[in-house]
């Protein structure tokens, strides 16, 4: 079971509205390499892990990714708040607004809907953990790209925090991979 605290993992603040940036951060909400995909990967893959430690690792990180979705959604909402019709249209978000107003929705910045095809669960613990390490690096790279797209120091602060979590997750998955490989090498076949 989970206990939900009614606060974000890290404060999300913005200096001003920035519709262009709001559109860009959708990549980390509903994009192929975003937080929704990561969460679904890890919470599914946990069932094929041979060790309680790696099951727990995938559950913990998968749950944390849901918290990151909440942060990205909050960032989106704050960046788009108060946008005028002309600002929305200029940023290419007229259609988005018509369908979702200012509600974050599982799309990337090009309007492509999130799909379960973005998730991976091979059922092989080693393959899945390598996939997870790659996913964390792709998310890190996306956050770095987003940091370049904004001049807002408050937005950069949130994005840097999220980027750092991707690095920590990469390291933790590496530790999990080592445990699984040690377990596999000690396995006895009769």
Q: Rounded to whole angstroms, how far apart are CA atoms 110 and 88? A: 14
Q: What is the average pLDDT value for the chain, to the nearest integer? A: 95
Here the tokens at position 103 are: 């509600």
> Tens digit of pLDDT for each residue in 112-171?
999 999 999 999 999 999 999 999 999 999 999 999 999 999 999 999 999 999 999 999
pLDDT over 60 at 190, yes or no: no
Q: What is the pLDDT of residue 187?
A: 65
Q: What is the pLDDT of residue 186?
A: 85
Domains of the chain as residue ranges with CATH: 19-185 (1.20.1260.10)
| Closest alpha carbon to 16 in 71, 62, 83 | 83
pLDDT band at 5 (very low <50, low <70, confident <90, very high): confident
DSSP assigned state of 123 = S
Exposure on the CB side of residue 78, measured as CA atoms within 13 A: 16
């Amino acid at each position: 079971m989970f206990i939900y605290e009614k606060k974000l993992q890290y404060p999300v603040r913005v200096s001003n509205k920035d519709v262009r940036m709001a559109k860009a951060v959708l990549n980390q909400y509903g994009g192929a390499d975003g937080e929704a995909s990561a969460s679904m990967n890890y919470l599914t893959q946990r069932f094929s892990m041979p060790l309680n430690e790696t099951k727990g690792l995938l559950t913990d990180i998968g749950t944390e990714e849901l918290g990151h979705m909440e942060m990205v959604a909050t960032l989106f909402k704050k960046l788009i708040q108060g946008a005028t019709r002309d600002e929305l249209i200029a940023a290419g978000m007229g259609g988005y607004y018509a369908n979702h107003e200012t509600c974050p929705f599982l799309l990337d910045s090009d309007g492509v809907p999130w799909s379960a095809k973005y998730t991976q669960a091979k059922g092989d613990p080693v393959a899945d953990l390598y996939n997870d390490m790659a996913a964390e690096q792709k998310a890190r790279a996306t956050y770095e790209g987003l940091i370049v797209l904004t001049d807002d120091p408050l937005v950069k602060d949130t994005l840097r925090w999220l980027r750092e979590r991707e690095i920590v997750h990469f390291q933790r998955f590496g530790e999990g991979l080592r445990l699984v490989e040690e377990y596999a090498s000690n396995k006895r076949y009769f």
